[in-house]
Amino acid sequence: MYRTEPTVPRVRLRFDAEAALWAVLIFIIEVLIATVWSHHRWLRGFVGDVLAVVWVYFMLKTVIKANPRGLALVAFAVGCLVELAQYVAAVNAWHVQNRVMKIVLGSVADWMDVLAYAGGFLLVLALEFLLARCRPLPVTGTSVTSGGK
């Protein structure tokens, strides 16, 4: 009887131009939400948090080749860690002085933010499903015959 080693998911570094393009586009949308559309509270407060997880996902995907679900979970975890940091800062009365960092990281811990991050996780999975369906199938080593001529 042979003993087989468990397979470990392979994570490799690489550059994915398509993921980088998505990250740039989502970053531009996030900047517009934070500046031009900042007076729309639901857009800034909820949609911005959903897109933040999607942005982190595509930033990771730009340089890391790994299972999409795993990367999406890491992006969700980053959002949750930011939320935890906001809670710890509030409990300890710490204040972020830098205006840009205050906008990026937020300043108030809220369970709705975690719900938005979960929505971002689900949006990533949906986007990956749709993008996979739109991509052409990889070419294999088989050849196509001319049909009996």
| pLDDT tens sequence across 7-36 | 666 789 999 999 999 999 999 999 999 889
Give 86-123 pLDDT, tens digit per residue. Answer: 888 888 888 888 888 777 777 788 999 999 999 999 99
pLDDT at residue 3, rounded to an integer: 60
CB count, 10 Å around CB of 32? 13
What pTM did the predictor assign? Answer: 0.80
Q: Collect all residues with Cβ–Cβ distance below 8 Å to 96 and sequence separation of at least 6.
A: 89, 102, 105, 107
Q: Count of CB atoms within 10 A of residue 110's CB?
A: 15
Chain CA centroid to CA 106, Å: 18
H or E segment and range at residue 12: strand 12-13
CA 117 to chain centroid, in Å, comes to: 9
| Of 52, 46, 47, 62, the residue nearest 27 (C-alpha) | 52
d(CA 66, CA 10): 7
Q: Which two tokens stand for residue 25?
A: 């586009």
- Please say if the pLDDT value at position 4 is more than 70: no
Q: Hey, what are 133's tokens?
A: 């369906």
